[in-house]
A = this chain, B = another copy of it.
Amino acid sequence: MPIETPRSQYRQVADLIRAAIDSKEFGLGDPLPPEQDLAGRYGVSRHTVNRAVQILRSEGLVRVERGKGTIVREIPVIRRDAMSRYNQSTRERQGARGAFDAEITALGMTPRAEVTVERIPASAAVAEGLRLTEGEPVIRRMRHMYANDVPVQLAPSYIPASIADGTPLAEQDSGPGGIVSRFADLGHRQVRITESIRIRRADAVEQAFLQLEDEQPVIEIWHTGWTADDRPVEVCVHVAPAHLWILDYDWSIS
Protein backbone atom coordinates (compact mmCIF):
# COMPACT_ATOMS: atom_id res chain seq x y z
CA MET A 1 0.00 0.00 0.00
CA PRO A 2 1.88 3.07 -1.15
CA ILE A 3 -0.60 5.58 0.23
CA GLU A 4 0.00 6.88 3.74
CA THR A 5 -2.23 9.16 5.71
CA PRO A 6 -0.08 12.08 6.92
CA ARG A 7 0.25 13.51 3.44
CA SER A 8 -2.82 13.99 1.31
CA GLN A 9 -3.53 11.06 -0.93
CA TYR A 10 -3.99 13.12 -4.05
CA ARG A 11 -0.53 14.58 -3.65
CA GLN A 12 0.96 11.16 -3.15
CA VAL A 13 -0.86 9.87 -6.20
CA ALA A 14 0.50 12.83 -8.16
CA ASP A 15 3.98 11.88 -7.01
CA LEU A 16 3.46 8.26 -8.04
CA ILE A 17 2.24 9.21 -11.50
CA ARG A 18 5.11 11.65 -11.86
CA ALA A 19 7.53 8.90 -10.92
CA ALA A 20 5.93 6.56 -13.42
CA ILE A 21 6.44 9.16 -16.12
CA ASP A 22 10.04 9.71 -15.11
CA SER A 23 10.67 5.98 -15.21
CA LYS A 24 9.16 5.81 -18.71
CA GLU A 25 6.38 3.52 -17.55
CA PHE A 26 4.07 6.17 -18.99
CA GLY A 27 5.88 7.33 -22.10
CA LEU A 28 6.04 10.83 -23.57
CA GLY A 29 3.15 11.46 -25.87
CA ASP A 30 1.28 8.43 -24.59
CA PRO A 31 -1.99 8.61 -22.70
CA LEU A 32 -2.10 7.77 -19.02
CA PRO A 33 -4.31 4.85 -18.00
CA PRO A 34 -7.92 5.93 -17.43
CA GLU A 35 -8.58 7.58 -14.10
CA GLN A 36 -10.81 4.70 -13.11
CA ASP A 37 -7.91 2.30 -13.57
CA LEU A 38 -5.51 4.53 -11.68
CA ALA A 39 -8.06 4.74 -8.87
CA GLY A 40 -8.09 0.96 -8.60
CA ARG A 41 -4.35 0.71 -8.91
CA TYR A 42 -3.68 3.15 -6.09
CA GLY A 43 -6.70 2.22 -4.01
CA VAL A 44 -8.36 5.62 -4.02
CA SER A 45 -11.51 7.07 -5.57
CA ARG A 46 -11.54 8.50 -9.05
CA HIS A 47 -12.13 11.93 -7.59
CA THR A 48 -8.80 11.68 -5.80
CA VAL A 49 -7.00 10.59 -8.95
CA ASN A 50 -8.63 13.44 -10.80
CA ARG A 51 -7.31 15.85 -8.23
CA ALA A 52 -3.82 14.39 -8.58
CA VAL A 53 -4.02 14.82 -12.32
CA GLN A 54 -4.92 18.48 -11.80
CA ILE A 55 -1.59 18.99 -10.11
CA LEU A 56 0.26 17.41 -13.00
CA ARG A 57 -1.71 19.60 -15.38
CA SER A 58 -0.86 22.75 -13.52
CA GLU A 59 2.78 21.71 -13.75
CA GLY A 60 2.43 21.27 -17.49
CA LEU A 61 3.46 17.64 -17.26
CA VAL A 62 0.30 16.27 -18.85
CA ARG A 63 -2.44 17.60 -21.05
CA VAL A 64 -6.04 16.44 -21.18
CA GLU A 65 -7.91 15.82 -24.40
CA ARG A 66 -11.57 15.78 -23.62
CA GLY A 67 -13.24 12.49 -24.31
CA LYS A 68 -9.95 10.87 -25.23
CA GLY A 69 -7.59 10.82 -22.33
CA THR A 70 -4.72 12.43 -20.50
CA ILE A 71 -1.52 12.70 -22.49
CA VAL A 72 2.03 13.06 -21.23
CA ARG A 73 3.56 16.20 -22.72
CA GLU A 74 6.72 15.99 -24.79
CA ILE A 75 8.14 19.47 -25.10
CA PRO A 76 11.32 20.07 -23.11
CA VAL A 77 12.30 23.38 -21.60
CA ILE A 78 13.16 26.17 -24.03
CA ARG A 79 15.80 28.76 -23.18
CA ARG A 80 15.37 32.33 -24.30
CA ASP A 81 18.46 34.50 -24.28
CA ALA A 82 17.04 38.01 -24.08
CA MET A 83 20.21 39.91 -24.83
CA SER A 84 21.66 38.00 -27.72
CA ARG A 85 18.32 37.99 -29.49
CA TYR A 86 18.62 41.66 -30.23
CA ASN A 87 22.22 42.44 -30.90
CA GLN A 88 23.36 43.15 -34.39
CA SER A 89 25.88 40.36 -34.86
CA THR A 90 23.45 37.73 -33.67
CA ARG A 91 20.81 39.01 -36.01
CA GLU A 92 23.21 38.83 -38.92
CA ARG A 93 24.31 35.35 -38.03
CA GLN A 94 20.75 34.19 -37.73
CA GLY A 95 19.87 35.79 -41.04
CA ALA A 96 16.20 35.57 -41.89
CA ARG A 97 15.54 32.97 -39.25
CA GLY A 98 15.25 35.10 -36.18
CA ALA A 99 15.83 34.40 -32.52
CA PHE A 100 12.88 32.10 -31.96
CA ASP A 101 13.91 29.82 -34.79
CA ALA A 102 17.40 29.60 -33.39
CA GLU A 103 16.16 28.76 -29.92
CA ILE A 104 13.95 25.95 -31.13
CA THR A 105 16.47 24.60 -33.60
CA ALA A 106 19.01 24.47 -30.79
CA LEU A 107 16.78 21.90 -29.12
CA GLY A 108 16.60 19.73 -32.21
CA MET A 109 13.02 20.69 -32.86
CA THR A 110 11.34 22.28 -35.84
CA PRO A 111 10.14 25.83 -35.34
CA ARG A 112 7.18 27.36 -37.06
CA ALA A 113 5.57 30.76 -36.74
CA GLU A 114 2.36 32.09 -38.25
CA VAL A 115 2.26 35.82 -38.66
CA THR A 116 -0.95 37.77 -39.02
CA VAL A 117 -0.76 41.50 -39.61
CA GLU A 118 -3.65 43.76 -38.74
CA ARG A 119 -4.30 47.46 -38.33
CA ILE A 120 -6.25 47.99 -35.12
CA PRO A 121 -6.94 50.67 -32.50
CA ALA A 122 -4.52 50.57 -29.59
CA SER A 123 -5.75 49.08 -26.36
CA ALA A 124 -5.16 51.07 -23.20
CA ALA A 125 -2.14 48.97 -22.25
CA VAL A 126 -0.55 49.10 -25.69
CA ALA A 127 -1.22 52.80 -25.98
CA GLU A 128 0.54 53.38 -22.69
CA GLY A 129 3.49 51.27 -23.78
CA LEU A 130 3.84 53.14 -27.05
CA ARG A 131 3.00 56.53 -25.53
CA LEU A 132 -0.06 56.88 -27.71
CA THR A 133 -3.66 57.64 -26.91
CA GLU A 134 -6.02 54.73 -26.52
CA GLY A 135 -7.68 54.01 -29.84
CA GLU A 136 -4.92 55.42 -32.04
CA PRO A 137 -4.18 53.06 -34.90
CA VAL A 138 -1.39 50.52 -34.49
CA ILE A 139 -0.12 47.66 -36.59
CA ARG A 140 -0.37 44.39 -34.76
CA ARG A 141 1.91 41.62 -35.93
CA MET A 142 0.40 38.61 -34.19
CA ARG A 143 2.70 35.63 -34.08
CA HIS A 144 1.57 32.10 -33.23
CA MET A 145 4.68 30.05 -32.57
CA TYR A 146 5.18 26.32 -32.54
CA ALA A 147 7.90 23.80 -31.84
CA ASN A 148 7.34 20.48 -33.60
CA ASP A 149 3.84 21.78 -34.29
CA VAL A 150 3.13 22.17 -30.59
CA PRO A 151 2.10 25.73 -29.67
CA VAL A 152 4.72 27.24 -27.38
CA GLN A 153 4.29 30.98 -27.56
CA LEU A 154 1.94 33.79 -28.51
CA ALA A 155 3.76 37.02 -29.31
CA PRO A 156 1.83 39.97 -30.68
CA SER A 157 3.98 42.94 -31.61
CA TYR A 158 2.57 46.46 -31.77
CA ILE A 159 3.91 49.34 -33.83
CA PRO A 160 2.39 52.80 -34.20
CA ALA A 161 0.65 52.98 -37.55
CA SER A 162 2.35 56.33 -38.06
CA ILE A 163 5.63 54.43 -38.29
CA ALA A 164 4.58 51.17 -39.91
CA ASP A 165 2.02 52.21 -42.50
CA GLY A 166 3.23 51.54 -46.03
CA THR A 167 6.48 49.96 -44.88
CA PRO A 168 7.69 46.37 -44.65
CA LEU A 169 6.75 46.55 -40.97
CA ALA A 170 3.16 46.18 -42.06
CA GLU A 171 3.93 43.28 -44.37
CA GLN A 172 3.65 39.68 -43.36
CA ASP A 173 7.21 38.96 -44.38
CA SER A 174 9.30 41.65 -42.80
CA GLY A 175 12.46 40.59 -44.63
CA PRO A 176 15.98 39.60 -43.58
CA GLY A 177 17.19 40.31 -40.05
CA GLY A 178 13.72 40.58 -38.61
CA ILE A 179 11.75 43.70 -37.90
CA VAL A 180 14.45 45.25 -35.75
CA SER A 181 16.47 45.66 -38.93
CA ARG A 182 13.48 47.25 -40.67
CA PHE A 183 13.15 49.80 -37.90
CA ALA A 184 16.78 50.75 -38.49
CA ASP A 185 16.17 51.03 -42.23
CA LEU A 186 13.31 53.40 -41.56
CA GLY A 187 15.34 55.67 -39.32
CA HIS A 188 13.92 54.29 -36.08
CA ARG A 189 16.93 52.35 -34.93
CA GLN A 190 16.31 50.71 -31.57
CA VAL A 191 19.12 51.40 -29.16
CA ARG A 192 17.58 50.33 -25.90
CA ILE A 193 15.35 47.48 -24.79
CA THR A 194 13.25 47.16 -21.68
CA GLU A 195 11.55 43.98 -20.60
CA SER A 196 9.11 43.49 -17.75
CA ILE A 197 8.36 39.96 -16.69
CA ARG A 198 5.41 38.81 -14.72
CA ILE A 199 3.53 35.62 -14.05
CA ARG A 200 -0.22 35.49 -14.38
CA ARG A 201 -3.08 33.23 -15.30
CA ALA A 202 -3.74 32.77 -18.99
CA ASP A 203 -6.80 34.36 -20.49
CA ALA A 204 -9.25 32.33 -22.53
CA VAL A 205 -7.60 33.01 -25.90
CA GLU A 206 -4.16 32.11 -24.60
CA GLN A 207 -5.50 29.00 -22.92
CA ALA A 208 -7.02 27.82 -26.14
CA PHE A 209 -3.96 28.38 -28.28
CA LEU A 210 -1.33 27.21 -25.84
CA GLN A 211 -3.41 24.16 -24.87
CA LEU A 212 -3.19 25.30 -21.29
CA GLU A 213 -5.04 24.10 -18.28
CA ASP A 214 -7.11 26.60 -16.40
CA GLU A 215 -4.88 27.03 -13.41
CA GLN A 216 -1.63 26.97 -15.38
CA PRO A 217 0.44 30.15 -15.14
CA VAL A 218 1.99 31.92 -18.11
CA ILE A 219 5.01 34.14 -18.38
CA GLU A 220 4.27 37.53 -19.85
CA ILE A 221 7.25 39.47 -21.15
CA TRP A 222 6.40 43.04 -21.98
CA HIS A 223 9.17 43.96 -24.39
CA THR A 224 9.70 47.54 -25.54
CA GLY A 225 12.17 48.85 -28.11
CA TRP A 226 13.37 52.45 -27.72
CA THR A 227 15.06 54.77 -30.17
CA ALA A 228 17.99 57.08 -29.39
CA ASP A 229 15.58 59.95 -28.73
CA ASP A 230 13.86 57.77 -26.14
CA ARG A 231 10.75 57.00 -28.07
CA PRO A 232 9.08 53.59 -27.78
CA VAL A 233 8.61 52.32 -31.33
CA GLU A 234 7.68 48.72 -30.72
CA VAL A 235 6.01 46.75 -27.98
CA CYS A 236 6.01 42.99 -28.09
CA VAL A 237 4.10 40.91 -25.58
CA HIS A 238 5.50 37.42 -25.31
CA VAL A 239 3.10 35.02 -23.63
CA ALA A 240 4.21 31.47 -23.02
CA PRO A 241 3.49 28.61 -20.63
CA ALA A 242 5.52 29.32 -17.53
CA HIS A 243 6.79 25.77 -17.18
CA LEU A 244 8.16 25.71 -20.70
CA TRP A 245 10.74 28.48 -20.70
CA ILE A 246 13.91 29.56 -19.00
CA LEU A 247 14.80 33.22 -19.52
CA ASP A 248 18.45 34.21 -19.65
CA TYR A 249 19.85 37.68 -19.13
CA ASP A 250 23.48 38.65 -19.29
CA TRP A 251 24.97 42.13 -18.87
CA SER A 252 28.01 44.07 -17.80
CA ILE A 253 28.17 46.30 -14.78
CA SER A 254 30.36 49.24 -14.03
A contacts, CB < 8 Å to B: 11, 55, 58-59, 77, 82-83, 86-88, 190-201, 214-215, 217, 219, 242-243, 245-254
Chain B residues with Cβ under 8 A from A192's Cβ? 250-253
Give 23 pairs: A residue, B residue, CB < 8 Å, sorted on A: A11-B214, A55-B215, A59-B201, A82-B249, A83-B251, A87-B253, A88-B253, A88-B254, A191-B252, A193-B249, A193-B250, A193-B251, A193-B253, A194-B249, A195-B248, A195-B249, A196-B247, A196-B249, A197-B247, A198-B247, A199-B199, A199-B242, A200-B243
User: What is the CA–CA distance of A86 and B251 in the complex, to the nearest angstrom?
Assistant: 10
User: What is the CA–CA distance of A211 and B148 in the complex, to the nearest angstrom?
Assistant: 39
Name, among A55, A82, A217, the residue most crowded by chain B CB atoms within 10 Å (CB to CB).
A217
Nearest Cβ distance between residue A182 and chain B, in whole angstroms?
15
User: What is the CA–CA distance of A247 and B247 in the complex, to the nearest angstrom?
Assistant: 11
The answer to whether B88 touches A246, judged by C-beta atoms less than 8 angstroms apart, is no
The answer to whether B196 touches A217, judged by C-beta atoms less than 8 angstroms apart, is no
The answer to whether B217 touches A253, judged by C-beta atoms less than 8 angstroms apart, is no
Chain B residues with Cβ under 8 A from A247's Cβ? 196-198
Identify 4 new A-B residue pairs, CB closer than 8 A, beyond the known A87-B254, A193-B249, A249-B249: A86-B253, A197-B248, A198-B245, A198-B246
The answer to whether B217 touches A217, judged by C-beta atoms less than 8 angstroms apart, is yes
Nearest B residue to A243, CB-CB = B199
User: What is the CA–CA distance of A243 and B215 in the complex, to the nearest angstrom?
Assistant: 13
Nearest B residue to A10, CB-CB = B214
The answer to whether B86 touches A197, judged by C-beta atoms less than 8 angstroms apart, is no
Chain B residues with Cβ under 8 A from A88's Cβ? 253-254
Chain B residues with Cβ under 8 A from A87's Cβ? 253-254
Nearest B residue to A58, CB-CB = B215
Q: Which 8 A-B pairs have the closest CB atoms?
A: A199-B242, A197-B247, A195-B249, A198-B246, A194-B250, A86-B253, A192-B252, A196-B248
Name, among A82, A193, A253, the residue most crowded by chain B CB atoms within 10 Å (CB to CB).
A253
Chain B residues with Cβ under 8 A from A82's Cβ? 249
